[in-house]
Structure 1
Amino acid sequence: MPSECGRVTERVEVLVARGFDGSLRTPRPPQDVSEFTAHHVGITVSDLDRTVSFYRDKLGLDLLTRFEVGGEAFSTGVDLPEAHAEFAHLDAGGTRLELVTYDSTSRSASEVGSESRLDTPGTTHVGLAVEDVEDCHAELPDDVETLSEPQTTESGTTIFFVRDPEGNLVEVLSP
């Protein structure tokens, strides 16, 4: 038996809507979220070379490509006038990590305000799964800022967090 929400959705799909110009039109059916796949996680940074070095040399991610983008279509798409950016894509076990610096980027995440805290709305982090969190933590170079020793949560996941050179949070976990 369909839920009440399902019945409402079925009715909405057959209604007619008015376009911005006032004309009658049939509304587009809702996008099926099963058609989406995650493509990348993007982080804006102020120093691309330093941040690529951190993820590649200290965390072991593979650098896939570096490229630059600019022009009118890009500027319009990112809603920044005369935008020009340099990108680096790294492979995190099948998930693409996109690091980007814009010509107009002048401050790191830690300089924008207080350092990111996970309980602050809008704070983001990248989660990287490893087989053995304890070994990973032990093998990190001394200059990598860690927030804690590895901890096993009530759910059974072992985690610890580090900050990249820009102040962004990176969770290292073993599910």
Structure 2
Amino acid sequence: MHFTGLDHVGFTVSDLDRSIAWYGELLGTEPTVRKIWERPYLGRIVGYPGCRIDVAVLPLPGTFLELIQYLDPPPQTGSMETFTVGNGHLCLITEDLAADYARLRGRAEFRSPEPVRVEWGPYEGGYICYLRDPDGITVELVQLPPGGPAFAEAAA
């Protein structure tokens, strides 16, 4: 393998201003970049000649989150269920999942009524919850178990 790192994580959103506000509250940060991109090479990259996108970049630990609102072609929506093939999610590690859950209550659609204790596997003893952003994009919050995840033990 010749990959050397992760550059960024990106999501297409329907309303960039709304998403900036939501992710800004989730992450406790503001965008470092906000710009409309409309260059011919961009259309060649994404396969939509003449495309125009409005982009915001927010910092994440060790990388960044790119939020994209397509202006042309117009955005479309599909199934956001996690069992849909191709659906992805962003997983963030937190030191205090209960506090984050309480902070985000009423601002996010949680998939469970409270953080769930992991009972088996490499995250056993930790806590996890799934929540959805305003477009239905899944964000996972995980509080690692004491000592961190046990991937070596799980592979054995």
Report TM bin, short chain: 0.7 to 0.9
Corresponding residue number in structure 2 for 1:119:
83
Query: Is 1:166 paired with 2:135?
Result: yes
Q: Is the 8 A contact 2:8 2:63 kept in 1?
A: yes
Alpha-carbon separation, structure 2, partners of 1:147 and 1:131: 20
Alpha-carbon separation, structure 1, partners of 2:65 and 2:97: 20
Corresponding residue number in structure 1 for 2:109:
145
Alpha-carbon separation, structure 2, partners of 1:65 and 1:59: 15
Larger radius of gyration: 1
Q: Give secondary structure in 1 for the equivalent of 2:32.
A: strand
Query: Is 1:81 paired with 2:49?
Result: yes
How many residues are matched?
A: 138
Correspondent of 2:74 among 97, 105, 109: 105
Q: Is the 8 A contact 1:68 1:86 kept in 2?
A: yes
Comparing 40-49 with 145-154, which one deviates more in the overlay?
A: 145-154
Deviation at 1:150, TM superposition (A): 0.4
Alpha-carbon separation, structure 2, partners of 1:62 and 1:141: 21
Corresponding residue number in structure 2 for 1:72:
40
Query: Is 1:44 paired with 2:8?
Result: no
Alpha-carbon separation, structure 2, partners of 1:73 and 1:92: 27
Compute the TM-score of the two structures, normalised by the length of structure 1.
Answer: 0.72
Q: Could you list the per-position Cα deviations for residues 113-139 of structure 1 after superposition, in whole angstroms to 9, with x for gaps in the alignment? A: 3xx232332110011111111111011
Compute the TM-score of the two structures, normalised by the length of structure 2.
Answer: 0.80
Q: Could you list the per-position Cα deviations for residues 29-50 of structure 1 after superposition, in whole angstroms to 9, with x for gaps in the alignment? A: xxx42x4210000101110000
Q: Is the 8 A contact 1:41 1:97 kept in 2?
A: yes
Q: Give secondary structure in 2 for the equivalent of 1:105.
A: coil
CA RMSD, aligned part only? Answer: 1.7
Counting only pairs closer than 5 Å after superposition, residues 7-46 of structure 1 correspond to structure 2 as 32-33=1-2, 35-46=3-14
Deviation at 1:152, TM superposition (A): 1.7
In percent, how many aligned pairs have the same letter? Answer: 31
Deviation at 1:89, TM superposition (A): 0.6
Deviation at 1:141, TM superposition (A): 4.2
List alignment gaps of at least 5 residues for structure 2.
Answer: 145-156
